[in-house]
Amino acid sequence: MKREVSPDKFNLAAIDIGSNAARILIKQVERVVSEDGLTALRMKKLQFLRIPLRLGIDVFSIGKISEEREKQLLRTMKVFRQLLIIYNVEDYRACATSAFRDAKNGKKILRHIHKEMKMDIDIITGDEEARILRDCNSSKTGNLLYMDVGGGSTEISLVSDGQLIDSRSFNIGTLRLLSGSTSQADWDSMSEEVGNICRGIDNILIVGSGGNINKLYRLAPKRERKAERLMVSTLSKLYEQLSSLSVEQRMEQYELREDRADVIVPASRLFLMVAEVAKAENIMVPTVGLADGIINELAAKLTCNA
């Protein structure tokens, strides 16, 4: 897939195979030079596609990816590969997260994909996942608690004025909670560890990422969300409203897809728990995710080598 890279404009892609869904993001990257000679990268989204494979449903219940979901993943990757060709993508990186970290047959499936389509997929650690997400917002200052809630895991990083204080990955995610594979002891342990990370740090602002917090931000009344910030008190009200409804009622009243209507409640619960422990009053929602971070790293690497 790699080709000679134009020094000024090229297309890059990121594939994120999560526990809940697989996503492909394709961006056009343009290198621009200002009048004072400084070089910057300007990006434009060309394509985004999300397929709700729900690999974690199998992994968190039977320890492996079932044959049927493997077939669905293979079909999905064939579509993604065609998109790479259609958009003349110069380079891409594909990453798999929590479900593949836990699946007994994860590496075998990835070897099968490589044999069938000559596509490499990296199983990344929770620490690398947290770092990529953190780097997406590295220009922000203050006491920032980066939090990404996925289907299989939650990544937490505390950064104070640009310096990393601590980073953890917890095997607690929305699908794990729905499947009942997370115990109260796991929940208590996460709460205690987050408390230890945040001890002695004041005025913490949570920086949230993931499809659920993005949707929750959009569901909040406009008067209660400003400058990409969602008040924790507003999130608490949303949680009460959503958790009182069935999945079908959430779909109807809030116009949610089924694969969002079920996980949005445990995601809200996770954000509220961390906010309470960190004594945070607001959650910043910059609407960037793992795929954005992957493309940022690819762009920096390719422009340095161009």
Query: pLDDT tens-digit profile of 75-122?
Result: 999 999 999 999 999 999 999 999 999 999 999 999 999 999 999 999
Query: pLDDT tens-digit profile of 150-185?
Result: 999 999 999 988 889 999 999 999 999 998 888 899
Specify whether the backbone of 37 is left (phi greater than 0), alpha (psi in -120 to 50) or beta: left
Return mean pLDDT, the chain.
90
Residue type, 137: N
pLDDT at 222: 83
Comparing 5-19, 230-244, 259-273, the range with the smallest average pLDDT is 5-19
How far is 7 from 303, CA to CA, in rounded Å? 7
Say if residues 287 and 214 touch (Cβ distance below 8 Å): yes
pLDDT at 33: 73
Comparing 29-43, 44-58, 135-149, 188-202, the range with the smallest average pLDDT is 29-43
How far is 30 from 12, CA to CA, in rounded Å? 11
pLDDT at 37: 66
Query: pLDDT tens-digit profile of 230-247?
Result: 999 999 999 999 999 999
pLDDT at 11 over 60: yes
Report pTM.
Answer: 0.85
pLDDT at 2 over 50: no
